[in-house]
Chains A and B, each alone.
Chain A
């Protein structure tokens, strides 16, 4: 028996053990989920800046390619790698291909369409001097950024990114933690990030950060109430709190906002459309408020508060706040996609058809579908930010307590009435 066979058999034996199978699959899913979230944090910064540029009729970060001079430095004697390449294929330098390549700046750099920009910004923040003012409360000043960045990462554990696959060792469910209380877990954990904002404002021992911290606390608590109430109609329809089951239901019976197949075609399901659309509007607005994004970025409103709760922060601690905000945005988008837009489901019965062909192929396609929906919703997030002006502070509070809370409560009764009289 060869060495390879021995190792292979050992791996198979290991996977046949239930506990090891569970541990290994969980770690792999965990790493994948973290990689997706972190990659999307970087990607959403890039999307934000490109879309902002597009909306404001300017290019945005479109350079930051990898300059070819770098390769010249590292040993390549030739000055023009593009010319070399053209010569290798026998293409004349006056040909349209060469002109197109020159127009795309391929003779000077490897283009990345500005994607390197967030990475370079991260590098810049990493290398900057870390300044901790002498008057801050050091312990809380240090743990506050961690409390902002940590919760969204943990909250991501219950978001399903594909359906399940059964292998010879057991079933792999493509969600890190298949809890029976999915949405509640996300509310609970991402609600904890309010501690980070509050403590950052308080520990800075300075006027404007403190005001920013107070605003963040008041705003996050107010909108958490309406957010929790707004998904109750949804849970009444799904009658489950398990995220994987919620998405499976949508894959079989039509997405919440697009019931075009399965049971979704019945008129009873369409009668539910009004309350569900209302809860979508309330929920999405609350997600904007919870992620502290414009038009709700009262906690870091530059015109009244200098920089808000992170005025005294620099270097990587500031970067943690920045990343935490974008991570919250990614998780919020993932939650909206999962609850309202079908999560990983491809739709129109394609999930079941693909599963009958090959379940790994189905899982892969569903994962890609989930990422596409996520990018689309992040685009929507950014679009709103660069279109709407910021609210005034009292308007934010009035909207939360006097409009959305009442609407969400009324919506619960409306849904109950529709469910009682129609179904």
Chain B
């Protein structure tokens, strides 16, 4: 797509995600909060789509918007919402006290992300294109290292925003690919890229995480199961 259009869409969906995230906190009705969160997830998925990571985007929708949030809604709906909405004892002081711990945690987390982003080599240089910053992130960007090895003279990225490069992705999947075939690659098979990295380089971490999840599931079942005496 045209880089200008994709940039406009990026900022549009980013703004939508931020506004919806704020609505989650500020809405009085818990169901409105949950629905804003769903919209926020959808906007995030749209951002991932825009960067060419279709698989990650669709997983965002299936897992978060389609399953986890529906369970949230399921529980929230069974609460007595009237009392929450008609809470007359609203005072600035009390709401500030309520929000303080959450704001603190969120602030620390976002500060950590900001520091990590600023400390990336080349990030302080305002004139430096984002793609070079992305390059130096190494493993965080699948296929970006290989993009640096792309033929000189042409920018190995689609636009001003950092994005995965189909040509580089094709080279990661098949190192023996010819130059013309790599150049003909139009879409990023990010399912294959992710699978390859997860099941080779990060296989041990992946398996350990799966076992942690399994243990959690078994624990939840064991805790919630009623043992009949009869």
Contact = CB atoms under 8 A, between A and B. Distances in A.
Contact of A241 (B31, B38, B73, B191): B191
A214 B38 CA distance: 18
Interface in B67-94: 67, 70-71, 73-74, 77-78
B66 A192 contact: yes
B134 interface: no
A116 B61 CA distance: 39
Interface in A179-214: 179-181, 184-185, 187-189, 191-192, 194-195, 198-199, 202, 210, 213-214
A180 B191 contact: yes
A192 B63 CA distance: 11
Given A202-B31, A217-B73, A181 B191 contact: yes
A195 B67 contact: no
A351 B69 CA distance: 44
A176 to B, nearest CB: 15
B54 interface: yes
B54 A181 contact: yes
A76 to B, nearest CB: 56
A221 interface: yes
Q: A180, A189, A198, A228: which has the most chain B beta carbons within 10 Å?
A: A180
Name the interface size band of chain A: 20 to 34
Contacts of B31: 140, 199, 202
13 contacts: A181-B55, A188-B62, A191-B66, A195-B35, A195-B70, A198-B74, A214-B74, A217-B73, A221-B67, A221-B70, A221-B71, A228-B62, A241-B191
Interface string B194-207: 00000000000000
Interface in A277-335: none
Contact of B62 (A187, A218, A241): A187
A224 interface: yes
B217 interface: no
Contact of B66 (A188, A202, A214, A241): A188
Nearest to A198: B73
Contact of A192 (B65, B74, B77, B189): B65
B58 interface: yes
B187 interface: yes
B90 to A, nearest CB: 21
Contacts of B71: 221
Contacts of A220: 70
Contacts of A241: 191
A228 B70 CA distance: 17
Contact of A202 (B38, B55, B65, B77): B77
Nearest to B52: A180
4 closest A-B pairs by CB: A191-B66, A188-B61, A188-B62, A202-B77
Nearest to A235: B191
Contacts of A180: 54-55, 187, 189-191
B189 A191 contact: no
Contacts of A140: 31
B193 to A, nearest CB: 11
B67 A185 contact: no
Interface in B45-63: 54-55, 58-59, 61-62
A210 B61 CA distance: 25
Contacts of A188: 58, 61-62, 65-66
A73 to B, nearest CB: 51
A201 to B, nearest CB: 8
Nearest to A179: B54
Interface in B7-35: 31, 35
Nearest to A185: B58
A72 B65 CA distance: 57
